[in-house]
């Protein structure tokens, strides 16, 4: 069995120590992420919702959409404050801000969307036509025919 001479062993240990010291952050990350679930008022998942994450300081925007389970992830975000905007046709857009992302942090932002209500305002003028006793009234009649094709 051959042994490595003592001075060579010492040199290998020093070299290995220098390599390890040169990369103190090996395995660490400088970024974070925002992830979450999007649901409707009943708690059901909302697939294909649009999610826009904007860094407030720089204006950098990352857009994604929810998967079939209503989940989204925006990975590799620099540390900072963000706005999370979630919307889908038929729902009111929700904005959550500020969301703080730190180094190696995985921030959970779940959003419950409200159904967008439709509101129709119909104004009816209830003022009737005034009829004078001395005036002549003309009547006009018309008919409406509709044909449906199948």
pLDDT at position 150, please? 45
In a domain, 58, yes or no: yes
DSSP symbols for 13-59:
HHHHHHHHHH-TTTT--S-EEEEEEEE-TTS-B-TT-EEEEEETTT-
The number of domains in the chain is 1
pLDDT at position 131, please? 46
pLDDT at position 117, please? 79
Q: Which domain holds residue 101?
A: 29-112
In a domain, 74, yes or no: yes
In a domain, 22, yes or no: no
Give the dihedral of Cα atoms 68, 71, 77, 83; nearest 10 deg: 110
* Contact present, 86 and 111 (Cβ < 8 Å): yes
In a domain, 122, yes or no: no
DSSP symbols for 51-103:
EEEEETTT--EEEEE--TTSEEEEEEEPSEEEEEEEE-TTB--EEEEEEEE-T
Question: What is the spatial distance between Cα 17 and Cα 46, in angstroms, rounded to a whole number?
Answer: 52
Those residues of the chain that have pLDDT short of 70 are 1-28, 118-150
CATH number of residue 65's parent domain: 2.60.40.10
In a domain, 78, yes or no: yes
pLDDT at position 39, please? 98
In a domain, 108, yes or no: yes
Whether the model clears a pTM of 0.75, i.e. scores above it, the answer is no
pLDDT at position 118, please? 63
pLDDT at position 23, please? 53
Structure tokens belonging to residue 70: 């209503």
In a domain, 97, yes or no: yes
pLDDT at position 19, please? 53
In a domain, 131, yes or no: no
pLDDT at position 29, please? 77
Question: What is the spatial distance between Cα 93 and Cα 95, in angstroms, rounded to a whole number?
Answer: 7
């Amino acid at each position: 069995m051959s042994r490595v001479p003592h001075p060579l062993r010492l040199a290998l240990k020093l070299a290995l120590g220098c390599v390890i010291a040169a990369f103190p952050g090996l395995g660490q990350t400088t970024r974070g992420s925002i992830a979450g679930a999007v649901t409707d008022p009943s708690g059901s998942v909302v697939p294909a919702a649009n999610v826009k994450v904007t860094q407030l300081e720089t204006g950098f925007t990352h857009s994604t959409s929810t998967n079939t389970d209503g989940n989204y992830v925006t990975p590799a975000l620099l540390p900072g404050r963000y706005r999370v905007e979630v919307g889908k046709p038929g729902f009111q857009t929700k904005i959550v801000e500020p969301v703080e992302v730190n180094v190696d942090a995985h921030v959970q932002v779940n959003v419950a969307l409200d159904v967008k209500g439709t509101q129709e305002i119909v104004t009816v003028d209830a003022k009737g036509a005034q009829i004078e006793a001395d005036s002549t009234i003309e009547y006009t009649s018309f008919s409406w025919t509709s044909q449906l094709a199948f």
